[in-house]
Structure 1
Amino acid sequence: MTKAKVTILDIARMAGVSKATVSRYLNGHYEKMSAQTKEKIKQVIADSHYHVNRQAQSITKKQTFIIGIIVADIENIFSSMLFKGADQVFENVHYQIMLMNSDNSQQRERQQLERLLDLRVDGIILQPISQHAEDYQFLADTHVPTVIVDRKLTPERWPAVVTDNYQYSKMLMDYILRLGYQRIVVVSEPVAANFPRQDRYRAVQDTCQRQSVPTSLIEIQPATTDDELYRQLLQVTHDLQDKAAIYALKGTLLMRIVRILARYQIAVPSEMGVAAFDDWDWATLTSPQITTIQQNPKVMGQQAAERLLEVLAGKEPPMLTSVESEFVVRQSLTK
């Protein structure tokens, strides 16, 4: 004889609560629910092996219970941690995540967004390629709840979760200049490509200009070799005669720079200072360890997910949420 499936009504009876309370629990609405009631329902569901039929729910409520997340570069550790943070939030409210990669291509990003819209996702978290809100008018026209993460759009159109790249970069520059460095060498992928790099580089320019310290920018292209980068470093520092500090605007570039300096036996920090804006703990794997501004992409993912849930609940979250980073002083800079 086939065993009858457990229903929401059965769960309610076993837990001694109303059907509406169980429904609120299953949909992640715990606001007016005591911890004792929440734990009781959780235990009854576990003991009875109850399984939520999301397909049936999506038909009844006209929801898919799917959230789309599009990141610019899925190979970047930032994207992995961002996804992990968002996943921890959505898992608790029974949403599934569809992770997509735009591969730093605006054309591919458009294709991925259209695919998510065709799948009728309930919401989207987007790390945008373009800086211009007008490039996403097609998305705005659908009225699908959307949250921007890591980068800003001009003008603001959706809630955004970001790092204050300018202020943290300025904090790092103030520290480096107090140590008496005579030149700052910024190493970055093309700065104009996104707002975080622009803000970080602008802070360098503003801070150094006020103190009459020269700056050099080395922009890394896909074809830039290690030998070419080494030659550029020698050129802008006058064959290491200047007391110079390298500022890498990205953690993956930091590791490349450390490798090049080690290969050509340039001692850190006695011959060259090094600092970076880092997404992960790369800087702790070197000797000496590197002074960094440490982002927290996991928290950014969590905050983006929470902002999106607020929109889905009909609330109006703040248009800008700034996630704190950490300024970590290590041994890669010296007086």
Structure 2
Amino acid sequence: MKRTTIEDVAKHANVSKSTVSQYLNNRFDYMSSKTRKRIEQSIIELNYQPNILARGLKQKTSSTIGVIVANILHVFSTQVIRAIEDYCNKRDFHVIVCNAEDDPVKEKRYIEMLRAKQVDGIIVFPTGGNVELYKEIKKSNYPVVFMDRLLPEVPVHSILLDNELAAELAVDEFVKNGHRQIGLVSPPLETKVTPRLERLEGFKKALEKHHMEYNPDYIIDGKISSIKDKLKDFLALPNPPTAVLAINDRTLLEILKYAKENDINIPETMALIGIDDVSYASIYNPTLTTIEQPTFEMGKKAVQVLFELMEGKNRKIEPEVHRFEPKIIVRESSEERLMQNE
């Protein structure tokens, strides 16, 4: 079948090609509602599909951005993506989402693929393994925004939680409820992932604030698949922690699985707080105290900053780190300790 062209639409609607072009680009300033309706009806009747690639070449834009997440399984990642997609949809932009799985090799391939597709900018949760590549990108003035993580060697606009405050809120809540032996569970800390290191630092500072000694034996870190095995040794210590902070949603889930499999009562035996307000927090038994990240606001800010860069507004401004404040949602899993457990 012959492809319907813009000329066909113009002829069918009895308007000029430039008028149809203005319609397709949402420029209605000097167009009557009758003309708009006629063009719309012609497009429907002729089943006209605009050539987006050709339009992009002419306008020097692909109307597309890329988002490279470190791990799409995280609640934080999916909510941020949703906020980005909502914003882009209103601007008639498309979003290509790539899952790097914390693998620098995959991350590099995705960056190269997105740039080859000439996307207008990228929002990325950097793994930390492609510093030189990001230096080249920055040098070329290509629009990029970091989400959730920093690369000190590559100063670009970055969107992060106040991670130290998130850990401090959890420790404060535990101390308020009578706990002095507080542990922390994290994915691998040696990977230098910004939120993990900042939350550990906030944890240490909060203990110091409450005149409590940091005990390395109360820290678990490792691959998610190893968390349950490590919890067994963790809770077999002569004086095990009476409260535990799960550094993110996936470690929280592993702790809950272990507690269920081993009949560990929460919060009677072990109080629990997780960073990331998971969807099941209010219906789990007991309900779970969580530290909420303003994920939608963070995602919206990231895409707003990216669009400003794409429009050339922020390129000469010194890159900023935009920090967002966490909020504690107190539920049953961090309740005050019973006297018999003292």
Structure 1: unaligned runs, 5 residues or longer: none
Query: Percent of counterpart pairs with the same letter?
Result: 24
The one of 78, 85, 93 aligned to 1:80: 78
Aligned to 1:322: 323
CA distance in 2, matches of 1:185, 1:12: 71
Classify the secondary structure of the residue corresponding to 1:281.
Answer: coil
Aligned to 1:69: 67
Q: Could you tell me how far 1:134 is from its partner in structure 2?
A: 4.6
Q: Could you tell me how far 1:254 is from its partner in structure 2?
A: 0.8
* 8 Å contact from structure 1 (residues 72, 103) kept in 2: yes
Aligned to 1:173: 171
Q: Could you tell me how far 1:175 is from its partner in structure 2?
A: 2.1
* 8 Å contact from structure 2 (residues 189, 222) kept in 1: no
Q: Could you tell me how far 1:155 is from its partner in structure 2?
A: 4.4
Is 2:292 the counterpart of 1:289?
no
**What amino acid sits opposite 2:320 in the alignment?**
M
Distance 1:325 1:85, change over 3 A: same
Distance 1:306 1:6, change over 3 A: farther
Deviates most, 129-138 or 88-97: 129-138
After superposition, give the CA deviation of every residue in 1:122-160 in whole Å (9 maximum; x if it has no partner). 111111011885552132243221111111221452211
Q: Could you tell me how far 1:73 is from its partner in structure 2?
A: 1.0
Classify the secondary structure of the residue corresponding to 2:226.
Answer: coil
CA distance in 1, matches of 2:271, 2:36: 54
Q: Could you tell me how far 1:38 is from its partner in structure 2?
A: 12
**What amino acid sits opposite 2:329 in the alignment?**
V
CA distance in 2, matches of 1:5, 1:233: 74
**What amino acid sits opposite 2:222 in the alignment?**
I
**What amino acid sits opposite 1:327 in the alignment?**
I
* 8 Å contact from structure 2 (residues 276, 293) kept in 1: yes
Q: Could you tell me how far 1:186 is from its partner in structure 2?
A: 0.1
Classify the secondary structure of the residue corresponding to 1:147.
Answer: strand
TM-score of the aligned structures, taking structure 2 as reference length: 0.81
Classify the secondary structure of the residue corresponding to 1:6.
Answer: helix
After superposition, give the CA deviation of every residue in 1:254-300 in whole Å (9 maximum; x if it has no partner). 12111211221121111111001015324224211111101233332
**What amino acid sits opposite 2:9 in the alignment?**
V
TM-score of the aligned structures, taking structure 1 as reference length: 0.82
Aligned to 1:186: 184
Deviates most, 37-46 or 88-97: 37-46
Classify the secondary structure of the residue corresponding to 1:25.
Answer: coil
Q: How does 1:1-335 map to 2 (within 5 A)?
A: 5-6=8-9, 25=26, 47-48=41-42, 49=44, 52-130=50-128, 133-134=131-132, 136-155=134-153, 157-193=155-191, 194-215=193-214, 216-221=218-223, 224=226, 226-235=228-237, 238=238, 240=240, 244-278=242-276, 280-316=278-314, 319-335=320-336
* 8 Å contact from structure 2 (residues 104, 129) kept in 1: no
After superposition, give the CA deviation of every residue in 1:35-90 in whole Å (9 maximum; x if it has no partner). xx999998777555475432221121222222111111123332222221111111
* 8 Å contact from structure 2 (residues 134, 154) kept in 1: no
Classify the secondary structure of the residue corresponding to 2:252.
Answer: helix
Q: Could you tell me how far 1:222 is from its partner in structure 2?
A: 5.0
* 8 Å contact from structure 1 (residues 255, 282) kept in 2: no
Q: Could you tell me how far 1:223 is from its partner in structure 2?
A: 5.1
**What amino acid sits opposite 1:328 in the alignment?**
I
Classify the secondary structure of the residue corresponding to 2:101.
Answer: coil
What is the RMSD computed on CA atoms of the aligned residues? 3.4
Q: Could you tell me how far 1:184 is from its partner in structure 2?
A: 1.0
CA distance in 1, matches of 2:302, 2:26: 22
After superposition, give the CA deviation of every residue in 1:230-251 in whole Å (9 maximum; x if it has no partner). 222231xx365x6x21100011
Classify the secondary structure of the residue corresponding to 1:234.
Answer: coil
Classify the secondary structure of the residue corresponding to 1:191.
Answer: coil
**What amino acid sits opposite 2:148 in the alignment?**
D
* 8 Å contact from structure 1 (residues 132, 155) kept in 2: no
CA distance in 2, matches of 1:81, 1:171: 22
**What amino acid sits opposite 2:114 in the alignment?**
L
Q: Could you tell me how far 1:221 is from its partner in structure 2?
A: 2.5
CA distance in 1, matches of 2:159, 2:300: 10
**What amino acid sits opposite 2:199 in the alignment?**
R
Classify the secondary structure of the residue corresponding to 2:205.
Answer: helix
